[in-house]
Chain A
């Protein structure tokens, strides 16, 4: 009997324990995606090299504040590849400085970007990729079928869908980053297209779909039922066509939907504060979601700047956050809470007072719908494996759970 191989879910570099440092290099983007949380995008605020250099100098000269064994230098927008020349220059400077300073990160670093894929095949982007290939991760976002993708991911100026301009670059991207997945975001209007979109992404040769519902309060009456039906349909397709052997979708995870112990399972979901984000003005944030262009209701939550450094007092709330302290009693006692995610920035933006300690629960009914469909998925899959005599082998080879949200 041929070994039953199961595709592992997305492995996070260094098991996710590296320091993540994000440069917000531009707030501009060719697209105006309808679900984008970046309410303050604009074409004016681009980072200068001098600002980036000062940030790198601060970070590398304060090694005692950054003790993680590894680092991910992340570049975000807007669309980061609009500033590929700047990013290239910053990466060169980072490499030189880490080497010159004999910094402990020199042997353990990566550069990371997520692009909308539109200018992926341009010579400048390709040169950058070739130059940094051994230390580079590039994610590319495609939302699914043309209908689903173009529903949200439209050009800023023309309002035209961007699907065709993205999908043509998928083969090149997959040839360069064959193990990368794509990130799909679900809002209310996307629900009817979920199943066909995930299957479409698989058909493009992308084996891993990291998908999640937006955390904002966008959900309408009945969305959870529709969502559940889509996921059940997707589960049927994945299992009936044996796609589970070679493809993964983050909606289905065996470990979600269980009650959580308030003592042993009390850790925070989100990494805000563990990471560091820097904007064009050299202001530091606990995560990009706390920068002003990400916030609808609240003022930016800064933790310092390139001149004065990090205000360690302002990091303390983030570094001591735990699940139960920020959750309502019904969330703490919820029977299916495991895997129910939150975004610290959205928590802050939606909170009744300026606090990161009030968990937003707009996603609640969608999580419960996901759990029901997820239970269906695993019950159906295990029954199929049982009948085929493959269950034991599957249990031995199954991948570890990894919910990829932020």
Chain B
């Protein structure tokens, strides 16, 4: 059984953002501005567990992005993925969610024979959380989103627990499937030193647009999303007023009057 984990390199959660002239930039005081999308760590961990506990033969980490995305893939390798592939081409730059889903699907098809594809529930840079569904649609597979536990896997089906707003549900679907995972599913391991060493020596293949049979438009030209105006949210402004009065009772009365005035109560 082959498992593919789809990962993305994103800014670190501690990175400090700034926007100047419509250009976003970020820096991290910890000196590591880019990391594996934190949600993807759960996806990677679950992929590795499928190898450890369910006999998966390969756990391949896949990323779309620039050369620097190899860092995210190295983290996946250091944690225990058996292989990693980077999909990188200038033609793909600026793809929107649908374009990305087409690329994911093409790359997963090229890997071939995957039974389970795992995404984190969303990426922290765009927060859309649609990649798993869209990729499943492009592949023609069943999407299982917000998975909080993999209950069982047989030769041709998988049973999972989904974490929903109003409870949990257990569903079974035929393989292959695309799943997205929530953080309740596991506790991601730290990369080991031995793993880091192995990852640093690993050659990560890079697939170009010409290597893939992408079905449909990709890149900025095909994107329906327009990033024409990027600006920082203005900081909230407010004021503090100290209520004065001769007694506590009087202060409370003034406070209550003011709250009525402001229609808070």
A and B co-occur in one complex: no
B interface list, Cβ under 8 A from A? none
A interface list, Cβ under 8 A from B? none
